[in-house]
Amino acid sequence: MKNDQIQSRGNPNEAILFGIVPMGDPRTAAEALHELQQLAETADYVPAGCMVQHRRHPDPHSYLGSGKLAELIDVVKLAHSGIVICDDSLTPNQGKAIEAAVGVPCIDRSELILQIFGMHARTPQARLQVELAALQYEMPRLRRRWTHLERQRGGIGVRGGAGEKQIDVDRELLRNRIAAVTRELKRIEQHKVREVQARPDLFTVALVGYTNAGKSSLMNRLTDAGVLAENRLFSTLDTRTRPWRLTGGRTVLLTDTVGFLRKLPHQLVASFHATLEEALHADLLLVMVDGSSAEAAEQLRTVDEVLETLGASELARITVFNKIDLVPDRAALAPLWQLEPRAVAVSVATGDGMPELMSAIQSHLASVENRVEILLPHSASNLHGEIRAKATVLSEFYTDEGCLMELQASPALLGRILAEGARKAEPRDRPPASD
């Protein structure tokens, strides 16, 4: 059967998944490619089969060895699949070789993730970020796209035919568009930085973590934000910030960010830098991990790697093991506790562990903020509501001079309220002890 016949008969939405696993890896193909299957389904493909090859390094020409590539050809024929999807990023030559062999389109992990991001991008910023990443991915693959065109070779001084000239035109168009999108995203990023810096001096908490770990569900539970929360990878791409009222009345800002992923294309990490600006300026990170996942430890390592890439690895954090309602035996969390002994285990779905999470956040606030006693004169009573909203008020007592308050506040907030009329309390401000 000829390759074009295979392609014409194949279902374009049915995919064969393939990849390489290290020598000695005991996992089955289905287990090793479980995340790729989730990604494929998120992109509306129907996985029709999967296969892996155990080898130390991919073949530089065709990714798979010749024997395994022949097996992939047979699987595609038998399943009548219209596409094959690789679990790694392929070089342009590897992708070209696989397509020529199997006779159907081949996409790699990076292109699959770009498709998903393109499907879920809603705001102009997200669309630009996805477009930039896609353009950067496309640039080195232009020649592969033009292999079907005629190559006309002339005499000395003649570079080539229409195909090569069209490649040059397309490459220049891509460069121009990349430059234009980069400028626009830079403008958005600068605006984002100013927006974050101009916010009122509220303590900020950013939700970061592996995709589908429950970040949006937690934000909805804590703030009634109404953020889309689905059991799908990358259901939300845009950063959302909402006020979160803590126990005692104090308000902090809570931000939901785009999820991380193993082997996340570096083009996406770079282009989504503006979106992640919220996390980079947060006072505290809540690192969410799906505690019920067999790959939770690997997900935690992935989050650490992405945070390091973003320059946010030194930010204060509280690790949260979510979905513990799906863990039949809590002893199964032991390997995670070894990695993060101070982590908090919760179930956003049932509310289990939420008081412990609140306590951990309150303890962190107490460890990084100033505890001070101030006198708020009657003439500055307009600050009273703001202090209650932005600081932790431990006690307050009204005297003839004003309101004597013991509070816990950030240095920035404390400095401002002292500049606007409050003053640090002195012994004479305290009422005499009663007999």
Residues 247 and 224 grouped into a single domain: yes
User: Is 434 part of a structural domain of the chain?
Assistant: no
Q: DSSP assignment of 341-367, as one string?
A: TT-EE--TTT-TTHHHHHHHHHHHHHH
Q: Are residues 67 and 86 in the same domain?
A: yes
Structure tokens at 95: 């992708």
Give the model confidence (pLDDT) of 42-64 as tens digits.
899 999 999 999 998 999 999 99
What average pLDDT does this structure show over 27-49?
90
Residues 171 and 256 in one domain: no
Query: How distant, in Å, are the alpha carbons of 372, 386, 390, 424 from that of 418?
Result: 11, 13, 14, 8
Range of the domain at 425: 369-429
**Confidence check: pLDDT of 158 > 70:** no
Helix ranges (DSSP H) in 106-161:
109-120, 124-138, 142-145
Share of the chain above pLDDT 70, in %: 84
- 150 by Cβ neighbours in 10 Å (0-12 / 13-18 / 19+) ranks as exposed
Residues 265, 352 within the same domain? yes
If asked whether residues 207 and 327 sit together in one domain, one would say: yes
Tell me, what's the pLDDT at 237? 57
CB 127 within 8 A of CB 121: yes
Residue 358 and residue 380 in one domain: no
Q: Are residues 204 and 346 in the same domain?
A: yes
Q: 230 and 161, same structural domain? A: no
88: CATH: 3.40.50.11060
Q: 156 or 358, which is more confident? A: 358
In this structure, the answer to whether residues 192 and 308 fall within a common structural domain is no
Same domain, 396 and 340: no
The pLDDT value given to residue 291 = 92
- How many angstroms separate the CA atoms of 222 and 211, rounded? 19
Q: Does the pLDDT value for residue 100 go beyond 60?
A: yes
How distant, in Å, are the alpha carbons of 18, 62, 163 from that of 145?
Answer: 22, 17, 10
The structural domain count of the chain equals: 4
Residue type, 194: R
Integer Rg of the chain from CA: 28
112 inside domain: no
Q: Per the confidence metrics, is the pTM higher than 0.95?
A: no
141 in any annotated domain? yes
pLDDT at 280 over 80: no
* Domain contains 207: yes
- Per-residue model confidence (pLDDT) at position 159: 39
In 3-state terms, what secondary structure has residue 34? Answer: helix
Between 73 and 141, the more confident residue is 73
Is residue 435 situated within a structural domain?
A: no
- pLDDT tens-digit readout, 319-344: 999 999 999 888 888 889 999 999 99
Amino acid at 138: E
Residues 102 and 132 in one domain: no
The answer to whether residue 163 scores a pLDDT higher than 80 is no
Residue 392 pairs in a beta bridge with 408
Choose among 105, 111, 108: nearest CA to 130. Answer: 111
Q: Is residue 335 part of a domain?
A: yes
Q: Please write the tens of the pLDDT for every residue from 106-124.
A: 999 989 988 888 887 777 8
Asked whether residue 345 carries a pLDDT value surpassing 70, the answer given is: yes
State the pLDDT at residue 240. Answer: 79
- Which tens digit of pLDDT belongs to each residue from 189-223? 787 777 666 666 788 899 988 888 888 889 888 88
DSSP single-letter state for residue 210: B
Checking 384-387 for CB contacts under 8 A at 24+ apart, the result is 386/417, 387/417
For all residues of the chain together, what is the average pLDDT? 82
